[in-house]
């Protein structure tokens, strides 16, 4: 079998049968397209001709091209998944990539927004929303919910009105792997959502003739997309003095860290964030410990 059609079939498999997220499927498709081009440059067009040396050579060239450890690790995972699928389907006699090792990645601690800065940011948004501007009300509700719930940006954008339970203060989201979970949010987020849903959303919805069920709408009345949310959050975080954080995922990191700082159980935070592995959640305990050490070094006379 030629490499390009086998890659196309594999991407269909992970998207439709394995229910990988759209972002993960796109990343795998991009990785395997890069490998396909690399193999073609070396005269390899058939899956039977792909060997371990070629795969290692591709990862080495990826490293020399300046790609980061995480990207190379993902590329390794992409070809290993594809190779295993080919072997299971009898397209190759053995799993060629089974002995391909992923490079070890140095885990960096996530950037977060400190409590006083977060409070100031939310207070500023509420002040802007007070006169009733629809976009300002939307942004206030959007940031309050992201911080209150730790949602991924894709989960936030995928919310429909029926997914929000204002009585129970919960939202129903579809996370990675099409796994559904119910996430709570607090009173400030509830207040901002009520104001947005009752005052601003109808005004935004009136700007389009197409029925839209999304909670968060763009300026033209359609469903707000992840890129727009990223731009909104990035502009807000850029205004924080000395801040290095940017993007909606920063608010997810911040929510998790502040929960643990407040004494929340690690497994409860895992459930809230929708992490498949507790190990993924544990990185936030390191963030809290680093903050504790910094406070100790600053405050203790014999630190």
Count of other CB atoms within 10 angstroms of residue 143: 25
What pLDDT was estimated at residue 204?
96
The residue behind tokens 């700007």 is 207
What pLDDT score was predicted for residue 104? 59
Q: Supply the pLDDT for residue 245.
A: 60
**Terminus-to-terminus CA distance in the chain, angstroms?**
64
From the candidates 9, 56, 172, 249, give the one annotated as an active-site residue. Answer: 249
How far apart are the C-alpha atoms of 198 and 194, rounded to whole Å? 6
Active site residue 284: yes
SS3 assignment, position 165: strand
Contacts of 257 (CB under 8 A, 6+ apart): 110, 112, 284, 287, 288, 291
Tokens at 53, concatenated: 């040396």
Task: Count CB-CB contacts under 10 A for residue 37.
Answer: 11
Question: Is residue 249 flagged as an active site residue?
Answer: yes
- Would residue 275 show up in a list of annotated catalytic residues for this protein? yes
Report residue 137 as tokens.
């009300």
Whether 176 sits among the annotated catalytic residues: the reply is: yes
Is this model's pTM higher than 0.85 or not? Answer: no
Residue 293, token pair as written in the block? 């050490």
Instruction: Decide if 284 contacts 264 (C-beta within 8 A).
Output: no
CA angle 278, 284, 288 (to 5 degrees): 140
In the block, residue with structure tokens 């759209």: 22
Taking CA 292 as the corner, what is the angle to CA 233 and CA 262, rounded to the nearest 5 degrees? 65
Among 9, 176, 181, 291, the active-site one is 176
Catalytic residue among 80, 138, 152, 258: 152
- CA-nearest of 77, 112, 69, 82 to 258 is 112
CA distance linking residue 281 with residue 290, whole number of Å: 16
223 has catalytic annotation: no
- pLDDT at 81 (0 to 100): 95
Provide the residue-wise pLDDT of the chain in tens; the chain has 303 residues: 999 999 999 999 999 988 888 888 999 999 999 999 999 998 999 999 999 888 988 998 888 788 888 888 899 999 999 999 999 999 999 999 998 876 655 556 678 898 999 999 999 999 999 999 999 999 999 999 999 999 999 899 999 999 999 999 999 998 877 789 999 999 999 999 999 999 999 999 999 988 899 999 999 999 999 989 999 998 999 878 766 667 888 899 999 999 988 888 888 889 899 888 887 787 777 666 666 566 556 655 654
192 contacts 126 by C-beta, under 8 angstroms: yes
DSSP-derived secondary structure letter, 72: H
**Confidence (pLDDT) at 55:** 92
Residue of 138, 190, 252, 258 with catalytic role: 252
């Amino acid at each position: 079998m030629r490499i390009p059609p086998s890659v196309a079939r594999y991407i269909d498999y992970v998207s439709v049968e394995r229910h990988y997220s759209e972002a993960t499927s796109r990343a795998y498709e991009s990785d395997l397209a890069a490998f396909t081009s690399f193999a073609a440059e070396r005269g390899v067009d058939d899956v039977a001709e792909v060997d371990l040396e070629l795969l290692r050579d591709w990862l080495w060239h990826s490293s020399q091209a300046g790609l980061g450890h995480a990207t190379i690790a993902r590329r390794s995972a992409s070809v290993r998944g594809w190779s295993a699928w080919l072997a299971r389907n009898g397209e190759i006699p053995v799993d060629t990539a089974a002995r391909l090792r992923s490079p070890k990645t140095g885990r960096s601690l996530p950037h977060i927004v400190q409590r006083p800065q977060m409070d100031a940011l939310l207070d500023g948004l509420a002040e802007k929303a007070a006169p009733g501007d629809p976009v300002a009300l939307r942004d206030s509700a959007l940031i309050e919910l992201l911080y209150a719930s730790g949602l991924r940006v894709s989960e936030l954008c995928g919310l429909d009105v029926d997914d929000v339970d204002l009585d129970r203060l919960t939202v129903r989201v579809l996370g990675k792997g099409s796994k559904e979970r119910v996430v709570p949010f607090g009173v400030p987020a509830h207040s901002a959502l009520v104001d947005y849903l009752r005052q601003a959303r109808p005004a935004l919805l009136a700007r389009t003739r197409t029925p839209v069920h999304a909670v968060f709408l763009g300026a033209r009345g359609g469903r707000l997309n992840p890129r727009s949310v990223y731009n909104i959050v990035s502009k807000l975080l850029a205004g924080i003095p000395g801040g290095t954080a940017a993007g909606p995922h920063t608010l997810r990191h911040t929510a998790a860290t502040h929960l643990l700082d407040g004494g929340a159980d690690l497994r409860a935070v895992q459930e809230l964030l929708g992490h498949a592995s507790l190990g993924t959640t544990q990185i936030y305990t390191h963030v809290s410990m680093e903050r504790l050490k910094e406070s100790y070094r600053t405050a203790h006379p014999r630190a």
